[in-house]
Amino acid sequence: MVEMFQKMGGTSSRIALTEYLVALLKQTPPEIIDKVTYLIQGKLYPDYEGIEIGVAEKMIVRAIASSSGKDGAEIERIYQKTGDLGDACAEAMKSKNQSTLFSEPMTVERVYNTFDRVARTTGPGSQEIKLRFISSLLNDATPEQSRYIVKFVMGQLRLGIADYTVLDSLALAFTGDKGNRKVLESAYNVSSDLGTIAKLMATKGLRAVRSLKVKLFRPIRPMLAERVTTAEEALDRMEGKAGVEYKLDGERVQVHKGKNGVELFSRRLEKITGHYPDVVKAMGSIRSEVIMEGEVVAINPETEEYLPFQELMHRRRKHGVEEAMENYPVVMNFFDVLYLDGKSKMQLQYSDRRKLLKKIVDSVKKNDIVRLINQAAVKEPQEIDRFMASAIENGCEGVMIKQLTSTYRAGAREYAWVKLKREYRSELADTLDLVIVGALHGRGRRAGKYGALLLAAYSPKDDMFQSATKVGTGFTDAHLEKFYEDLRRHIIAQRHARVETGMAMDVWFEPRLVIEVIASEITVSPSHAAAKNAIKLGFGLALRFPKFTGKIRDDKKPEDATTVEELISMYRGQLKTAGVKTADEG
Ligand code: AMP
């Protein structure tokens, strides 16, 4: 292996790398081919295991010093000169007297197993133990061997061997035909584990690789989407009918639920179970063994508003997870099921997977976390546009449109799934003054208060208050208290005759109180009535990500609120900033 490392390190040609790798794989005994496959990529396990060797640089310097009989300062000096600790080690070891007495032979197994122990040693005092393991290898190593041992432990092997180079090489080494790489790639897409594939190939052959099964706790490479720019284009790609889903702006998670536990994997197939203990717990009540996919999103639990992606960042941490869980609650919106009780479901059509998914999600013991993603069956571009507008207004970044007959194609980016996003985006500079016309009851911490308020703009032309947004963010406890008290006097039995909206509310008010809000932008909306039909037939205008600024505009009468004409001109201004031409400009 060391010989191969030297050759590989000396070339940057992918063809040459493949040739060397083919030669190495052919020479490798099948029993250890999985280990060799991991080692050449500088790993001990597939990425999803998340196991790192974890040795501090100064510990390696100490190990080199003790094995080479030089002092730490001298090793540091050589390190400064070479710029690479592996090269420094080889240099330092050159002058050492090689003692063959009592030394164990350097085999791949020995080196791998020692690295493995280093990686698995954790907790207090672990650095000292790791040091001893590394020294035990360096004591018996030649200078050339020591170079690569140190590079590996430092995570600096960097031979540039990509996953695809390994797949090509395996195909060539064992079948003589690079064309078979496709078979290997499919196996890789459902297992994400090159070591297992290499071993299967070397011991049982291509047919066994072809029938490699989906397995719990081994992540599947996610299916990806192409991009389209219009609803028409999307439907053309889908033969006229499709499923359309909310495209939430969170983190994609692949959930593996077994008899004795749950693991979560990120889109890059890293283990992220520790970030979302609440999701893990919520999955506990599912009886079956399943692999499901969904988007985890931060949420305001009182108002049910989705929050921007940045909020999720608070959950990416090793410490203080409990606290982050309290402060940044999430919901898990499932959109696919890939495996159920021992069987892959990837061959089922999307429409059938969706039915199955619904059954599974319905079986989850009621909780606030697990949900089915919003979906609708569509045949007309207008239906997609309408769904899209409501998705955007609800804090999504767009929609995903999926072919009803498509299977789950692991690792593939194809037109079976397409994403339709908003083309422009800008921040609203101005605040708006809107009238409170309705409310939803609060939940959780806001129980007994209002959770969200329905706000309207004023339309002078017909003297109406037309709803433009629901706001639940930006309120302190004192505000909530005050609104609850102040609004009580204005409660009416049903929607006020001067209020126009498509929203259902728990409580309606006489339009009296005006408050100030900011928002990220104005979007077209199928459910709000402000400026209805002015921009688009059947649609009004609405605020996206609205937030109460803390200002109650006692100085304004409801008729002094922001007008729908102002909303229209703000909407047009937005388009202009984004360089989109409006209809009247041609
Ligand atoms: P993009 O990252 O823009 O290529 O869009 C694909 C990503 O959208 C996926 O990896 C998911 O994280 C996310 N996503 C959100 N909602 C859905 C959905 N309903 N179906 C599939 N992916 C979704």
Nearest-atom number in ligand 1 for the CA of 249 is 15
Total residues found in the chain within this entry: 586
- The CATH number of the domain holding residue 351 is 3.30.470.30
Whole-number mean pLDDT of the chain? Answer: 92
How far are the Cα atoms of 67, 148, 231, 347, 351 from residue 240, in angstroms, in the given order? Answer: 71, 58, 11, 22, 15
Among 425, 444, 461, identify where a domain stops: 425
pTM of the model: 0.79
What is the CATH classification number for the domain harbouring 37? 1.10.3260.10
Alpha carbon nearest to ligand 1 atom 1, residue: 225
Same-domain status, 447 and 547: yes
Are residues 388 and 368 part of one domain?
A: yes
More confident residue, 457 or 445: 457
Most ligand 1 atoms within 8 A of CB, residue of 220, 224, 248, 388 to mutate: 248
Cβ of 225 less than 6 Å from ligand 1: yes
Catalytic residues: 247
> Is residue 159 assigned to a domain?
no
Quote the percentage of the chain above a pLDDT of 70. 96
Between 74-78, 180-184, 544-548, 572-576, the lowest mean confidence (pLDDT) is in: 572-576
Any ligand 1 atom below 6 A from CB of 416: no
Residues 436 and 416 in one domain: no
Instruction: Kindly report the protein residue whose alpha carbon is nearest to atom 3 of ligand 1.
Output: 419
**Both 411 and 482 in a single domain?**
no
161, part of any domain: no
Number of domains comprising the chain: 3
For a mutational test of ligand 1's pocket, the pick from 226, 384, 400, i.e. the residue with the most ligand atoms closer than 8 A to its C-beta, is 400
Mutate to test the pocket of ligand 1, among 220, 226, 247, 417 (most ligand atoms within 8 A of CB): 247
Residue 247 alpha carbon to ligand 1 centre in Å: 6
C-alpha–C-alpha distance, residues 497 and 22, integer Å: 79
Q: Whose CA is nearest to atom 23 of ligand 1?
A: 247
Mean pLDDT computed over 73-83: 95
Same domain, 265 and 388: yes
**582: pLDDT strictly greater than 60:** no
Atom of ligand 1 nearest to the CA of 222: 10
Which residues are registered as beta bridge partners of 247? 398
Q: What is the pLDDT of residue 534?
A: 94
The answer to whether position 120 is within a domain reads: yes
The backbone torsions φ and ψ at residue 491, rounded to the nearest 5 degrees and listed phi first, read -65, 135
- Inside any domain, residue 214: no
447 and 326 in one domain?
no
Looking at the structure, tell me whether residues 489 and 382 fall in a common domain: no
Q: Give the Å distance between the CA of 546 and the centre of ligand 1.
A: 24
Spatial contact of 476 and 483, defined as CB atoms under 8 Å apart:
no
pLDDT at 425 > cutoff 50: yes
Measured in Å, residue 243 CA sits from the centre of ligand 1 at 14
Residues spanned by the domain of 485 = 432-585
Same domain for 404 and 445, yes or no, is: no
- 334 within ligand 1 shell (Cβ under 6 A): no
Which pLDDT value is given to residue 586? 33
Is residue 268 located within the same domain as residue 415? yes
Listed residues 130, 153, 176: the one ending a domain: 153
What DSSP letter does each residue of 107-121 carry, written as one string? Answer: -HHHHHHHHHHHHH-
- Check whether residue 378 and residue 452 sit in a common domain: no
Domain contains 188? no
Q: Which of 92, 124, 153 is the last residue of a domain?
A: 153
Closest CA to 562 of 437, 473, 431, 469: 431
Do 384 and 453 have their domain in common? no
What is the 3-class SS of 233-282, one letter each residue? HHHHHCCCCEEEEEECCCEEEEEEEECCEEEEECCCCCECHHHCHHHHHH
User: Same structural domain for residues 146 and 228?
Assistant: no
Q: Which residues contact 33 (CB under 8 A, 6 or more apart)?
A: 25, 195, 198, 199, 202
Assigned domain for 437 exists? yes
- Between the CA of 257 and the centroid of ligand 1 the distance, in Å, is 21
Residue 554 phi/psi, 5° resolution? -60, -25
400 C-beta closer than 6 A to ligand 1: yes
